[in-house]
Structure 1
Amino acid sequence: MPSPVSVLPEARSPKPSQRDERYRLARARALCQARAMTHFDIVRVDPADHLLVRSWLAAQESVQEHDFRGLSPWHPLGALTGLVVHDPDSRREKWAAVCDGEVLGYLNLNLSDRDNTHLVGFEAGVRPDSRRHGIGSALLRHAEERAAEEGRTAICTWLAVPHEDSPDVRGDGGPFLIGNGYQRSLEAAVRVCELAAVDEEALDRLWDECGEKSREFELTTFHGVPDDRLIDGMAYLHQRMYTDMPLGEWDLQEGRITADTVRQWERQRLLRGQLNIQTAVVHKESGDVAGFTEIQVHAAEERHAWQGNTIVDPRFRGHKLGTLLKIANQRRLERMRPFMRYVWTGNAESNTQMIAINEAVGYRLAGHETVFQKKIG
């Protein structure tokens, strides 16, 4: 009797003979249901296998549409570029649970080789009509086996969770993860800024108030690689993000960020077609970078943008720099992308100071996320 699941590290899904894609998928689904999904393969997603990639994308889209409505949208181009643009500091493995040529579930692994080499991050999902057949359990087991093979001691995932603040979110993998030994390690909130709804007069008043308290500092806005006078200071502050932001019980350890790391990040964004809009603030007397913020626009996306890191050096806090940075960068985004409508951000629920800044510049609560983590080995 065949095993219910096999792992084929470099195998491709079977090549269907039918040319009509709809017929092929309908036939594959019927076959899997007829066999009660007693067998499926977990295979590495090969970018050259176009039918597999197409089904892999469709599986991810079906999960996002069913489970996470009302949150920041999923776009297939981001998944596609992740298949072919390799990160020099991190290995990103894409796996799929395949039955008769159709992807029923997916597993995306992130194995950092620069820092936090004890940790594996993952994202997993199963098509809504293919659940309750052991696919999610098999993918989770595969993730943990890969983590153990790499000598990692912890594995984690970020997951949007149902909440009264986000009634359209109905995917609830939390109990499943807890039942498999995971713990809630960090509670976070998702907020969105609808740019057209921002009270610009109130923002002007806030800008003037911040300007009065920040006369010792100079603002500069740009996109792409920071210039030489900024890049070392920004690398230092990027590194501080690992330790300055609230982490709860999430086992994220200090990173090693250099100017070359920042250059590599921007190179990766260029290859993925991402725009990174940034504003930094410099202390005039010392020339030190006192803080920065960033907003990222993904390729082929003209309605939604994503807030990246925001940080102010502890030496220079108390001058309203965080608020100043946010307003300047938000307005820079609107000038560069006049049709942009939404900016999304997330914060640990305990990060009350940053939440207050975000709400002051127009962000409103949209949902909740949790980091689920498990110690292994």
Structure 2
Amino acid sequence: MDIIPLDHDDDVMLKELFGVATRSESVSRVQPIQRTEDEFLKMVRFSFPGEREESVVAVVDGSPVGWARVFFPERDNLDKCWSHLEVDPQHRGKGVGTALVDWMEQQARAAGRDMLLTEVFVPVGDRESHADREFALRRGFTVSSIEIVRSLPLPVADDVMAEHERRAAEAMGDLYELTVHVDGVPDELRQGVCDASNRLILDAPTGDVEFEPESMTVDDYETLLQHLRDTGRTMVTAVAVHRESGVVAAYTDLSIPTGDPHVVFQWGTLVLPEHRGHRLGMAVKVANLEELARLAPERRSVQTMNDEQNPWMVQINKDLGFAIIEEALTMKKAF
């Protein structure tokens, strides 16, 4: 087995890795993510501003059997890095994963990072015994937090939506203006959305790992939108603006992918601490779901993740009808 750097311009290798990732996720996830080959290639080649990535491929007899990626934030949280590992199911248990984790740890140490983070997805009830968790534990990782993956069947019943919309409107009163936008918010809202998104990692529970605010800029936001357009994704964003101050008090994003015609992904949702208590979280989610029903009525579910120690967002999701489908263990290794 050889461990070689990934050449992002090598179409042949990337297409083979698409097969590796697809087969790996098919046995590692309860609801594997469906992607087109083109979407996969564009995703792997995309670099988000302010983040550096290093990737390698495990090759046996000239064919890839696994790959590893390490992501290094370069503006904030400079003591940490995130990692992602995929091993073809038929090559598991043969040292491929161990070799790739060795490489990831070497890169983290070489970059002066104190912590390597990753996610392990497990079926409900398997958080204490799943093979992927046990593999990470043997390598010196520990569980730092647990997120619950939930799925909402679509369409949501009209009476359920109407009741949540009514209660949210009563709580908001005339204090906030609620708007929904497709493929990015207008220029005057972009800084506010970036500010809210950057503090999401602070306000959402993260177990025993502490984070700094992130540093997405308005230019970064446009770069992300261009990447979504390139991959054929549609993003729907609901925003609640405080009328008196003009501050973006709450936002939420839905991402509609091209590779799976049935699912939609719930991305970030945040209500600023000083604006909580007005049911803004429910308001923006309902507004986004209504726009989703108009844009993509053929979609059959929305998938989301929330830390199990986030009772407020968990309750909103339960009230809307989200049901648990699997769990995501955030694993850390400190150096």
Give me the TM-score of the superposition, normalised by structure 2: 0.93
Pairwise CA distance, 1:276: 1.4
AA aligned to 1:368 is E
Which one of the candidate residues 52, 56, 61 is aligned to 1:91? 52
Which amino acid is 2:237 matched to? Answer: Q
1:102 to 43, 60, 63: 63
Alignment correspondent of 1:127: 88
Say whether 1:53 aligns with 2:14: yes
User: Does the aligned pair in 2 maintain the 1:307–1:344 contact within 8 Å?
Assistant: yes
RCO (CA 8 Å, sep 6+): is it higher in 1 or 2? 2
Is 1:81 aligned with 2:39? no
User: Deviations for 1:61-98, whole angstroms, at most 9, x for unmatched residues?
Assistant: 11111222335545544431123333232123332100
Query: For the residues of structure 2 that align with 1:318 and 1:157, how far apart are their CA atoms?
Result: 33
Cα displacement (A) at 1:251: 4.1
8 A Cα contact 2:36 2:258, kept in partner: no
Shift of the alpha carbon at 1:280?
A: 0.3
State the 1:180 CA deviation.
1.1
Whether the 8 Å contact between 2:76 and 2:215 is mirrored in structure 1 is yes
Does 2:226 correspond to 1:267?
yes
Shift of 1:273: 2.9
CA positional deviation for 1:107: 0.9
User: 1:306 touches 1:345 (CA, 8 Å); kept in 2?
Assistant: yes
* Displacement of 1:165: 8.4
What do the CA deviations read for 1:208-236 (whole angstroms, capped 9, x no partner)? 12111212211111023322331222122
Give SS of 1:173's match.
helix
**Which SS does the other structure have where 2:131 is aligned?**
coil
SS of the residue 1:287 aligns to: coil
Unaligned runs of 5+ in 1: 1-39
Q: Does 1:137 align with 2:98?
A: yes
Match of 2:176 in 1: 217
Find 1:348's aligned residue among 307, 319, 328: 307
Q: Is the 8 A contact 1:156 1:374 kept in 2?
A: yes
Q: 1:370 is matched with which residue?
A: 329
User: For the residues of structure 2 that align with 1:113 and 1:77, how far apart are their CA atoms?
Assistant: 28
Post-superposition CA distance 1:336-366 (Å, at most 9, x none):
1121111110000000110110111221111
- The separation in 2 between residues aligned to 1:355 and 1:253, in whole angstroms, is 23
Whether the 8 Å CA contact 2:30–2:325 is kept in 1: the answer is no
Q: Which residue of 150, 161, 166 maps to 1:208? A: 166
Q: % of aligned pairs identical?
A: 26
Separation of aligned partners in 2, 1:105 and 1:98: 7
Partner of 1:11: none
Q: Does 1:164 align with 2:122?
A: no
In 2, Cα distance between equivalents of 1:271 and 1:123: 23
Q: For 1:267 and 1:114, how far apart are their aligned partners in 2?
A: 21
Which of 245, 262, 265 is residue 286 of structure 1 equivalent to?
A: 245
Question: Alignment partner of 1:225: what SS?
Answer: coil
> For the residues of structure 2 that align with 1:109 and 1:161, how far apart are their CA atoms?
21
* Deviation for aligned residue 1:127: 1.6
TM-score by length of 1: 0.83
Counterpart amino acid of 1:104?
A: V
In the alignment, which residue of structure 2 is the partner of 1:146? 107
- Unaligned 5+ residue runs, structure 2? none
Q: Tell me the alpha carbon deviations over residues 218-272 of structure 1, each in whole angstroms, 9 at most, x when there is no partner.
A: 1111023322331222122112212111111134332223333323322332333
Offset at residue 369 of structure 1 (A): 0.8
Q: Is the 8 A contact 1:109 1:120 kept in 2?
A: yes
User: Is residue 23 of structure 2 the alignment partner of residue 62 of structure 1?
Assistant: yes
Task: Provide the rounded CA distance (Å) in 2 between the counterparts of 1:126 and 1:60.
Answer: 8
Counterpart AA for 1:278: T
The reply on whether 1:111 has 2:72 as its aligned counterpart is: yes
Q: What is the Cα-based RMSD across aligned positions, in Å?
A: 2.0
- Quote the Cα distance in structure 2 between the aligned partners of 1:179 and 1:305: 35
Residue 328 of structure 1: aligned partner:
287
Instruction: Quote the residue 2:139 is aligned against.
Output: 180
Distance 2:69 2:38 in 1: 15
Max Rg structure: 1
Aligned partner of 1:191 in structure 2 is 150
Alpha-carbon distance change, 210 to 330 in structure 1, aligned in 2, over 3 angstroms: same
113-122 vs 76-85, which moves further: 76-85
1:121-159 per-position Cα deviation (integer Å, ceiling 9, x unaligned): 111122222122211110000001111122211101011
- The 3-state SS of whatever aligns with 1:212 is helix
